[in-house]
Amino acid sequence: MATFFSSPHLVIAVLLSAAGGLSAETLDTVALGSPASEAAHSFKSDHAETFTGGLDLPARRLLPLESPAWFGGKLSCTLKVDATLQNYVTVRFWGSDVNHNLLMLEVDGKQVGYRHLGDYDCLDVGTDAPTYNGRFCYKTLPLPMDLTKGRQSVEVTIQSNGSIWNYGRSFEEYQKPMTEATRGIYAIHTHTDGCFTPPADEKQGVYPKDAPLRKEPGEEVIGKVKQRVNYELVNLLKPDRMPNQMQTLFLAKSYFIQWTAAAGKPEAITQVQRSLDNLYRAYKKDPKLAEAEPSTYNPDWFGYGPAGQVISLLAEQLKPTLGETIDDGSGGSIPRREAYTDMLLHCRDWHREHRRQYTNQSMINDLYGIYLANRGIAVLSPEKALPEKQALRYLRESIGLDPWLGSEVNGKPTLPLGNDYLQLTRKGLTRELGFVGNYGEVIDWVCQIYEGTAPAWGKPGDPDIKAQLIRIARARAPFRYPMLDEGGHRAMVQETAVGWRDTHSPGDVAYAQRPSWDGSPLEAASLTLDPALIGYCQQMFADNQYFHSIAEQVEGKGFRITAGLLRVPEEYELIKSQPASKSRLPLTWSEPDYVFSDEEDGVVAIKRGNEIFYASLYWRARHAVNFLARVHYLTPEYDRVAVVRQETAYTQSGMEYTRPNWTDFGFANGGHRYPDTVQSAHTGEKLPIARIPDGIPFKAGEENIHAGRGDFYQMRYGPYFVAMNMSKDKTFDVRVPEDSGDATELVTGRKDLKPGTAAKVAPRTTLVFRFGK
């Protein structure tokens, strides 16, 4: 693999050669559950059993211990490697299995990869639903060169762990005991090409030509939504109930929705008033509640912002009582207007000084903690409110319309990422350390931002934000691919395998919008009536996945889900009444071939015939350039997810990052500490740090979006060759692979790029070749 260095101020455009190819062969294979194959590879195991799995093939699964611990069984075998080349290990799984255990790869007793969000991933992070129903799937990891250099074979171990809860603060909260067997492990392969190709005679499943549709549930689900929402409202309206802040916002919104039990009810206003008074008294006792109020989901992102929205929505209804004096809870009294203003000012100004960087967090903080708190202040004490244009700036920054300027000190932005960093890419994806799948689905929050800017309930919001909402929602469309759901029905699911902050596999069934606690699949389409989004919703109706999605929400537990269902009946009636749209999700099997690339996030999404290809070239490079990419390659027969080596050109900083001995998190301080017997295979690896722009504080070892970002990437994976220029102002030359034949470049359709010739890749453009039939 070539490494490209340059001066701190200039990247020299160089002629790059294609990495990888189709000629590399599998070095070794052990078929698990086969006595002969296992014996030939010095197989040994502890707490493992043989069973008959998918397509009646033998496999192994690892078992919990008699007294369940955080780890379970393991298996080991000796496999051939190449002494000089990059080696990979690929493991075969049955795509219908659902299991939440983790599987970690070890080589000669050292752990390859990290448990949580490392660039070298877990061997298996677990599954929430079938990852590829009725077919096999393959997971590939590269081996550190130091483990294989000069060697002909290595001992490969697969160690089972219980599931982890990503947000657990203690080891016990984080690492759960392993209490059930793992999913089946069918084979382990070693090879020198990043793209593992199963043997032609290996049994595989197949995607059915006519996948059945769901037959139920149906429209009766809407009635269950109303029943659940009204049950909650009736309880909240009882005089002996004291609604918390989020319940109060729910009441305020319900007041305007005609079918609800709170619609136009004076007792709803009474309960809102009581709750606001109570929030002030709590604030008087503990002012930090205005910064982080515990009834919200991530308290320090919201503060008292929801109360500000309540006051803004019900300004006319609350106006008659704002001048009244209330008990402040400490023996004194204060006019309501003054009390509410005090707590909202504290909220707004604290959140201006404590903004969040990652996109979804930035949106929530800026909407609730700043903007909606200010909207409440504008109702109560207009002279103390920020002018609307100034307050709107925070929202524009959070959704990528204006550069994000960071937290403030004494009213001045700190510019932690410079003065030109946008939270979204030009093409509408959230912009972080690469493409984000599940957490990148910020459509529900942008819907709330758009509605939050409306002058009154039901009125249009800011037109620039509406246009940005449409762009963001459309940008997610290429990240939906055809799948069979858990029942074997036709569906589209969101892509998460190449998302850098993703740990859920597979993604949710999703069309125009991912269903969430806070929004519905029709939310953005109903707010914008954008024809493309309406078409995606109509595709969901045609696949009969909408009612099932809502039914799952109705069956979910918790108030947050109830609040997220509030607008569902109205949205359904509105979208159902729209004329037919021709738009369908672009990676649907019936749609034409399609290519999407986003050079700011370093991601591509491709549909060609009956195969789908995703790749994140800027892959979890938090601390330094890591020369790794993540690929998800699907055919009707099987599914492949791989971390592979790639070539990267970058601007040199002169600094290096040395990997610590971390085995849990691939970031922060390495996460939770596991027994000293678990050692990382990556310890001591030195990686170059790319140049950090002037004016941005940084030291080696810190996480930074610039530290691992290359200017130019090229990756060969099986029949695909991708050359991506992420720079703003540099042009690179790339050599078309010699084995490309008469391949067409998929982005532009050019057919004149002959094998072995050089092609120029302009700033923020991508070339993609697909070779063979």
Summarize pLDDT for 717-738 with one digit per residue, the tens: 999 999 999 999 999 999 988 8
In a domain, 480, yes or no: no
Q: What is the pLDDT of residue 685?
A: 97
Residue range of the domain that includes 682: 1-19+646-701+709-773
| Reported confidence tier of residue 773, pLDDT bands at 50, 70, 90 | low
CB 280 within 8 A of CB 273: no
Give 681-696 pLDDT, tens digit per residue: 999 999 999 999 998 9
Question: In the predicted model, is pLDDT for residue 10 greater than 80?
Answer: no
Based on the domain organization, do 14 and 115 belong to the same domain? no
Q: What pLDDT, on a 0 to 100 scale, did the predictor assign at position 11?
A: 38
Are 74 and 173 found together in one domain?
yes
Predicted pLDDT at 450: 98
Q: Give yes or no for residue 7 having a pLDDT over 60.
A: no
Give per-residue pLDDT as tens, 446-482.
999 999 999 999 999 999 999 999 999 999 999 999 9
* pLDDT, tens only, 492-531: 999 999 999 999 889 999 999 998 889 999 999 999 999 9
In-domain check, residue 217: no
Q: What is residue 740's predicted lDDT score, i.e. its pLDDT? A: 67
The model's pLDDT over 243-259, given as tens digits with 9 standing for 90+, comes to 999 999 999 999 999 99
Give the pLDDT confidence score for residue 101 in this predicted structure: 97
DSSP code at position 687 = E
| CA-closest candidate to residue 618, choices 632, 604, 639 | 604
Q: Could you tell me if 11 and 45 lie in one domain?
A: no
In this prediction, residues 270-282 reach a mean pLDDT of 98
Of 161, 190, 206, the residue at which a domain comes to its end is: 206
Residues 414 and 319 placed together within one structural domain of the fold: yes
Output 518 or 7, whichever has higher pLDDT.
Answer: 518
682 and 765 within one domain: yes
Could you tell me whether strands 490-494 and 480-484 are parallel, antiparallel, or unpaired per DSSP bridges?
antiparallel
Kindly tell me if the per-residue pLDDT of 594 is higher than 90.
yes
**Do 183 and 310 have their domain in common?**
no
pLDDT the model gives residue 751: 80
Alpha-carbon span 332 to 474, nearest angstrom: 54
Same domain, 6 and 45: no
SS3 for 245-314 is: HHHHHHHHHHCCCCCCCCCCCHHHHHHHHHHHHHHHHHHHHCHHHHCCCCCCCCHHHHCCHHHHHHHHHC
Q: Is the pLDDT assigned to residue 350 strictly greater than 60?
A: yes
Q: Is residue 256 part of a domain?
A: yes
- Please state, for a pLDDT cut of 70, what percent of the chain lies above it: 96
Is 51 part of a structural domain of the chain?
yes
Q: What is the mean pLDDT of residues 594-603?
A: 97
One domain for residues 242 and 194: no
**pLDDT at residue 14, rounded to an integer:** 35
Distance between CA atoms of residues 545 and 516, nearest Å: 15
The domain boundary residue, chosen from 360, 392, 423: 423
Are 191 and 275 in the same domain? no
CB-facing half-sphere around the CA of 744: CA atoms within 13 A: 9
pLDDT tens-digit readout, 703-718 = 999 999 999 999 999 9
Which residue in this structure is represented by tokens 């033998």? 58
Helices and strands of the chain, counted as H and E runs: 20, 33
Looking at the structure, tell me whether residues 89 and 11 fall in a common domain: no
Q: Is 330 domain-assigned?
A: yes
Identify whether 571 is part of a domain. Answer: no
Secondary element (H or E) of residue 158: strand 153-161
Residue 563 pLDDT: 97
Listed residues 392, 423, 454: the one ending a domain: 423
Residue 482 placed within a domain:
no
**Same structural domain for residues 241 and 377?**
yes
Percent of the chain with pLDDT over 90: 88
pLDDT at 371 over 60: yes
Give Cα 213 distance to the centre of its chain. 28
Examine the pLDDT at 44 and tell me if it is beyond 70.
yes
Q: How many CA atoms lie within 13 A of 465 on its CB side?
A: 26
pLDDT score, position 297: 86
If one compares 613 and 438, the residue with the highest pLDDT of the two is 613
Mean pLDDT value of segment 186-199 = 96
Q: Is residue 501 assigned to a domain?
A: no
**Residue 23 clears pLDDT 80, i.e. is over it:** no
**Band of the pLDDT at 2, cuts 50, 70, 90?**
very low
Among residues 481, 426, 444, the alpha carbon closest in space to that of 364 is found at: 444
**Assign residue 163 a region: left if phi > 0, alpha if psi is -120 to 50, beta otherwise?**
beta
The answer to whether 146 touches 92, Cβ cutoff 8 Å, is: no
Burial tier of 217 (Cβ tally within 10 Å: 0-12, 13-18, 19+): middle
pLDDT of residue 13: 33
211 — pLDDT class (breaks 50, 70, 90) = confident
pLDDT score, position 677: 82
Here the CATH number for the domain that contains residue 137 is 2.60.120.200
If asked whether residues 324 and 387 sit together in one domain, one would say yes
- Residue 154: how many other CB atoms lie within 10 Å: 19
Instruction: State the total domains in the chain.
Output: 3
- Mean of pLDDT values over 275-297: 97
Beta strands at 712-717 and 647-649: parallel, antiparallel or unpaired: antiparallel
Q: What are the tokens at 98?
A: 């659902």
Mean residue pLDDT across the chain = 94
